[in-house]
Structure formats: C-alpha cells, structure tokens
Amino acid sequence: MNSDSPAARAKLGKVLVSAEQIAARMPALAREIVDWMGDGDDDLVLVPVMTGAFIFAADLVRHMPVRMRITLATVSSYPGASTASQGVRPLGDLPANLEGRRVLVIDDILDSGRTLRFLRERFESQKPARFATAVLLRKTIPEAMNTTCEFVGFDIPDEFVVGCGLDYDGCFRNLPDVRVLHPEGSAS
C-alpha cells in the first residue's frame, strides 16, 4: 500500500463483529433465505453487489444447498477515500432477463439505503417472481432501518467499518473481522 494513501494513514478501531460471529450466523441466515425462496425450478438468481459483498456471498452460498445461478452486479457509491455515499452508479450492465425468476440481491452493508433502493427499483421493474435483499450488516440509523431489506446478518452502530469485504480507499476488505475505521484526523 502506498504509505501516503488515506488507507495507510487510517487507524483501525475496535472489532464490532468477529470472524467467529460471522461464521456462526451463516447457517441460520442461509436457512431463512432458502425457506423464503420456496420451491422453484431452475430460476433462482443470486446477485452479489461488487465489490463489498464478495466475501459475505461466498460464505452464504456455501450454506445454501439449492440450485442457483450467481450473477454479479457492480455499483459504486463510495468512490476513493470518502465515507459518505456519493450517489449510486452502476459500473457496466446490470443483470437482465430476471422476469419470472426468484432474485436475491446480496450486499455487504445497508447504510443510507440508496444502493438497495436503486437495485430494488431496477430489478423489480423486470417483474421477477420473487425479489428480496440480504445484507451482512445494517447500521441502526433511520435511513437504513426504513429501507426494506428482508435478511440482515447483524445490526451495528453508526460507525464506518471495514473488513469482511468492506473497504476504505480500496483497502481492508481482507480483514476477517468487521472493525471500526477512523480516517486520519477523526477522533478515535
């Protein structure tokens, strides 16, 4: 990492959700999702939102012993070293041909809710048979709590967090625990 980058100067804070807690939550969360999906034939599509959801999605799908297709969607909402949503922008084409399918969007965290509201609108307009969203983390702030999300791994306080797929300035996604991050200059 460039030693002058914002990520290099940022300070890692306390662990909010440990790798062990995440691993322990996956089987029950996966079961809830599989129960919600009901039976279907060859029509289940999971849409992990890149890049943040790649670890959560990988953990979750290995506890879902059902036939599925996995199609990635890439959106950008926190470009570079910002810690506040800058608006949602799809990068490349979003999955199409979802009519009549059961669709589950998987994201790392529900914060302002912009990302999930944007994707719900775009995907529901394709008339899927069922549509739901799942997140590993949800911040306990009104914007997040008032955004529809059917499956939530953990509710966390309103802190900027990294690890288990979540980044700051592109870094820290590989940390096994979810930890608070203090950008340089902020109170720790």
Which residues form the catalytic set?
A: 111
Among 7, 106, 109, 132, binds ligand IMP (CB under 6 A): 109
Q: Confirm or reject binding of residue 113 to Mg ion (CB under 5 A).
A: no
Q: Using an 8 Å Cβ cutoff, are 186 and 12 in contact?
A: no
Q: Which of residues 4-43 bind ligand IMP (CB under 6 A)?
A: none
Q: What is the DSSP string of the chain?
A: --TTSHHHH-EEEEEEE-HHHHHHHHHHHHHHHHHHH---SS-EEEEEEETTTHHHHHHHHTT--S--EE--EEEESS-TT--S----EE-SPPP---TT-EEEEEEEEESSSHHHHHHHHHHHTT--SEEEEEEEEEESSHHHHTS--SEEEEEE-S--EEBTTB-BTTB-TT-SSEEEEE-TTS--
173 binds ligand IMP (CB under 6 A): no
> Least distance (Å) from Mg ion to the CB of residue 65?
27
Q: Which does 109 bind (CB under 5 to 8 A by kind): ligand IMP, Mg ion, none?
A: ligand IMP
In the list Mg ion, ligand IMP, none, the entry touching 7 (Cβ below 5 to 8 angstroms by class) is none
* From candidates 37, 102, 105, 115, binder to ligand IMP by CB under 6 A: 115
Residue 144: CB minimum distance to ligand IMP, A: 7
Is 52 one of the binding residues for Mg ion (CB under 5 A)? yes
Smallest gap from Cβ 106 to Mg ion, in A, equals: 11
Binding site for ligand IMP (CB under 6 A): 49, 52, 77-78, 85, 107-115, 160-162, 166
